[in-house]
Structure 1
Amino acid sequence: MSPGHAHVKMPNDDLPVDGPSRLSADINRATRDVHNVLNHLIMTRLPLGLLQPTLYREGVLSIFYIFRTFESAWQSHLSNPDLDPRLRQILTRTYIPAMQRTRAILADVAYYYSLPLDLAEKTYLPLSHQPSLPTRQSIVNHIEKVTREKPHVLLSYGHVMYMALFAGGRILKLRILDNDIFFPGTPKDKETRQRMGVNMFSFEGRRTKEEEEEIRIAWKAGMGDAENLLTKEEWNDCCEEGAQVFRLMESMIYELDTIKAPVAYAVIAKYAVGALLAILMAYALIFKYLPILIAQF
């Protein structure tokens, strides 16, 4: 570490070593309110998404663009021979190949859009391919700009996006695997289904929760090493951008509301009509047999 970038003692320096890194804890604290808002938005929309894969896949595609953009920026910085050595150490210590999600999520995109994987890769992987929806595009633009100007904030994107895979992601994965609507004509075999529509939450070569946990632990260790190389200003940048990540996700959800609305209404109507018919049939049976029941008493 160069003398000009000596580590400044931060508020969470006394956290236990087996807990979150100091920077992770500060990002969590800085994002608590926006995190709660995002959780509410997700939980109020998820039930509908689980009723109709065509709704869910739009969310998967939006998430794909986020991961593709910040992971590509990460790799671009690491391949740049002119990158500041200190920043290179920060990004190298937190770069975990097994954690990379771009291609895994693209496999889900291919499945839900019924595309051959090679066609999906040719279409979506090149950075020249840009989203057609305005909010998706503005999110991509923001991530490209901020990570170009402040490479250290990639730690914020990694912390927020990767750690979500080990929290709510595990629960969502199980709910999708058990949902036959997502896998028409496919046996209820988790290994088969896992290779089809939940690659986002699956890590190649890791079959157990304990093996997946090794990746999370490696990330936490990398964050613990990298944070010691940050200046105080960079530390604050990471906390501020962490909150911005949640705001970007919030805007993404509101955009999904606009494109999902027609399909959502159709799904709601389908189930509402079904429920109404069931109620009418119940009433018909009651009125048909009620006189007989009364006569018996």
Structure 2
Amino acid sequence: MAKDSVPPISLPGEINIATRALHTELNRLITTRLPLGLPPFAADPTLYTTGLLHFAHIYLTFESLWADLLPATLPGPAASPPTSPLLSFLLVNPYSEPELFTSPPSPHIVAFLHTLRPKGLIRSGRLKRDLEFLTGLHPTDFEVLLAQYPGDKVAEFCTHIRRRVGNKPHVLVAYAWCYYMAVFSGGRYLRAELLKAGNAFWNTGTEDEVPKEDKETLRLEDKGLSFWSFPGQHDGLDIKEAFKARLEAAETLLTPDERVDIIEEAKTIFKLSASLVEELDQKLGTDLEKLKLFNAAQRHQVEKISDQSVTVTPNMAKTVGTWLHRPEVTGTVVALGCLACVALLRFGY
């Protein structure tokens, strides 16, 4: 049922206000760990790949559920096929979670979701391409890897997504806003920082799997780091504006209860994203006490460099200070979850 009037605060604005504290905490978790996954502290992209795989399951789950909702008979852009056959239900036991298969969505929500995402926005295909390159696995072995959860918290998050979307598919709007706008807001900056690691870093471990001619002709933006890139001449700016314009329809389309559902789901997204960072810490034994000492030393170095008016190089403490203060990155913490793997060094340097 359509709403009678547009509320004084936009839906994205309400989400941002409601999630501010959670946003800040997740930002702290990630920004303190980010530098450790790149040179000079990491010799290869193993940590990045580990974290990317953890968060990739979240994208693969909500995007495939979204695709499952969209019948090809609706007008408008054609529905994108799932990136893997029945991926949204690949790890689901229908006997233990029967409600996932019995909650038909309302037609007006399906119609809205059908047109919300512009072409080029979906990330699952790029995530799979990046991970296949970074892991160096044969396509068959890679599908086997994706057919299992890398951690209990990942499984819990994906189960939560399926249950929530199964009962209230309009909460997909929360995932769209949190995850897509995050990549838009700071993706270009993030990509630039990652690219500074160089081809040798990102090609480590793929010497036997990737043909020499591919290494010479493919850009990192098209293989290991394609998640952070968008098709077209505008590097995603046109896609971002189209997405925001289409999202405006939600202001008059959603009922008050549906609106509350979306805002509450956004809060949950931040909480569960933080739980993935914590699981990564536990999985690879991050020494949190040493992490505190490391970041304290980095902050001291930032202050010292600032006092001396010295230009900071990419491999110096600039990374921490910059990430903590850049406003465009403050809006990207959910997507930055894909870099949470940087927390996982065992501090053997």
SS in 2 for 1:269: coil
1:129-208 superposed matches below 5 A: 129-180=147-198, 181-184=201-204, 192-203=219-230, 205-206=231-232, 208=233
Amino acid at match of 2:253: L
Q: What's the CA shift for 1:182?
A: 2.4
Q: From the two aligned structures, give the one with the greater helix fraction.
A: 1
Unaligned runs of 5+ in 2: 74-103, 287-343
Deviations along 1:150-170, one digit per CA (max 9) or x if unpaired, are 100100000000011112322
Cα 1:201–1:7 change in 2 (3 A) is: farther
1:239 to 2:263 alignment: yes
Q: Does 1:116 align with 2:195?
A: no
> Following superposition of structure 1 onto structure 2, how do residues 19-168 of structure 1 map, counting pairs within 5 Å?
22-50=10-38, 51-52=41-42, 53-79=45-71, 83-117=105-139, 119-120=141-142, 122-123=143-144, 129-168=147-186
Q: Show the counterpart of 1:285.
A: none
8 Å CA contact 1:105–1:200 kept in 2: the answer is yes
Aligned residues: 249
Q: Secondary structure at the match of 1:159?
A: helix
2:268 counterpart letter in structure 1: Q
Shift of the alpha carbon at 1:261? Answer: 2.3
* Greater CA drift, 75-84 or 255-264: 75-84
CA contact (8 A) 1:62 1:136 kept: yes
Matched residue, 2:89: none
> For 2:117, what is the secondary structure of its paired residue?
coil
Cα distance in structure 1, aligned partners of 2:348 and 2:148: 34
Task: Give me the whole-angstrom Cα distance separating, in 2, the residues matched to 1:25 and 1:230.
Answer: 15
Which residue of structure 2 aligns with residue 17 of structure 1? none
TM-score (norm 1): 0.76
1:11 & 1:258 partners in 2: Cα distance? Answer: 43
Aligned residue type for 1:131: Y
AA partner of residue 33 (structure 1): A
Contact 2:49 2:134 in 1 (8 A): yes
Give the letter aligned to residue 173 of structure 1: R
Amino acid corresponding to residue 224 of structure 2 in structure 1: G
Does the aligned pair in 2 maintain the 1:90–1:227 contact within 8 Å? Answer: no
Using the alignment, how far apart are the partners of 1:214 and 1:229 within structure 2?
24
Contact persistence 1:93–1:225 (CA under 8 A): no
TM-score, normalised by the number of residues in structure 2: 0.66
* Structure-2 separation of matches of 1:190 and 1:178: 18
Match 2:242 to one of 218, 235, 248: 218
2-side partners of 1:73 and 1:190: how far apart? Answer: 35
Letter in 1 for 2:7: M
- More displaced stretch, 78-87 vs 29-38: 78-87
Alignment CA distance shift 1:179-1:237 (3 Å): same
Q: C-alpha distance in 2, partners of 1:113/1:80?
A: 34
Higher relative contact order (CA 8 A, sep 6+): 2
CA offsets 1:8-51 (integer angstroms, 9 cap, x no match): 43131xxxxxxxxx111111111111111111111011111224
Asked if the contact 1:41–1:250 (Cα under 8 Å) also holds between the matched residues in 2, the reply is: yes
Aligned CA distance change for structure 1 residues 144 and 255 (closer, same or farther; 3 Å): same
C-alpha separation in 2, matches of 1:163 and 1:189: 32
Q: Which residue of 2 aligns with 1:264?
A: 345
Contact 2:126/2:226, CA 8 A, preserved across alignment? yes
Q: Does the C-alpha gap of structure 1 residues 107 and 261 become closer, same or farther in structure 2, counting only changes over 3 Å?
A: same
2:331 matched residue in structure 1: none
Structure number with bigger Rg:
1
1:49-68 Cα shifts (integer Å, max 9, x gaps): 22431111111101210101
Shift of 1:202: 1.3
